[in-house]
């Protein structure tokens, strides 16, 4: 996994971490297979976990929420907007969640070029900056992210730590 790339999450993630506020997979749209939502990934260097920010094509819906938050609070760091492959999308920081590579189904690849989908550097900096601010506030007790991401993060870290201690016991004694 790499920061700045887009991925799809395995269904097993939603089974292992049941939270009705997580944005679940929708494999069929109009009867045909289609992976969604796609998630923008960035790494939390302090934990080694990746945080996934879901993207939505329902831009008008989220612009209304965004504008209401700006009117009420003077700013909004939980939703931002930008282009993916020439189409405007809403990036839902308020719905982000932590994952490990074990739960990644596949990377979002541009069908025309066979290259991983990316966003421009300005948007990437804005998105990652806002997400890190929101996550820091969440860790301080300010509820800005809908799913219980701190509980999921703890479980993921406990699972990773168990694997690392088993690895250390087996290979470093």
Four-way CATH pick for 6-171: 3.40.470.10, 1.10.10.10, 3.20.20.120, 3.10.129.130 = 3.10.129.130
Report DSSP state, residue 139: H
Report DSSP state, residue 19: -
- pLDDT tens figures, 77-133: 999 999 999 999 999 999 999 999 999 999 999 999 999 999 999 999 999 999 999
pLDDT score of 172: 38
Map residue 34 onto helix, strand or coil.
coil
Radius of gyration for the alpha carbons in the chain, expressed in angstroms and rounded: 17
pLDDT score of 160: 83
Cα–Cα distance for residue pair 165/169, rounded to 1 Å:
6
Partners of 82 in the β-ladder: 89
Tokens of 110: 């541009």
Query: In the predicted model, is pLDDT for residue 165 greater than 90?
Result: no
DSSP secondary structure, 57-90, as one string: S-HHHHHHHHHHHHHHHS--SSEEEEEETTEEEE
* HSE (side-chain half, CA atoms, 13 Å) at 6: 22
Cα–Cα distance for residue pair 16/18, rounded to 1 Å:
6
Partners of 33 in the β-ladder: 28
Domains of the chain by residue range:
6-171
**Confidence band, pLDDT 50/70/90 cuts, at residue 162:** low
Lowest-confidence segment of 31-45, 51-65, 76-90, 148-162 by average pLDDT:
31-45
Tokens of 83: 């282009």
What's the rounded mean pLDDT across residues 38-59?
94
Query: In the predicted model, is pLDDT for residue 65 greater than 70?
Result: yes
Partners of 130 in the β-ladder: none
């Amino acid at each position: 996994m790499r920061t700045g790339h887009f991925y799809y999450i395995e269904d097993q993630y939603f089974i292992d971490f049941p939270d009705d506020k997580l944005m679940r997979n929708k494999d069929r749209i109009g009867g045909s297979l289609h992976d969604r939502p796609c998630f923008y990934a960035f790494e939390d260097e302090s934990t080694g976990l990746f945080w996934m920010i879901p993207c939505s094509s329902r831009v008008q819906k989220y612009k209304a929420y965004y504008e209401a938050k700006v009117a009420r609070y003077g700013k909004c760091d939980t939703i931002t907007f930008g282009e993916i492959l020439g189409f405007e999308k809403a990036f839902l920081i308020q719905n982000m969640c932590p994952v490990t590579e074990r739960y990644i189904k596949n990377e979002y690849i541009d069908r025309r070029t066979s290259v991983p989908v990316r966003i421009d550097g300005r948007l990437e900096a804005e998105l990652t900056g806002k997400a890190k601010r929101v996550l820091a506030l969440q860790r301080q007790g300010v509820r800005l992210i809908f799913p219980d991401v701190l509980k999921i993060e703890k479980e993921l870290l406990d699972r990773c730590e168990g694997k690392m201690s088993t690895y250390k016991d087996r290979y470093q004694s």
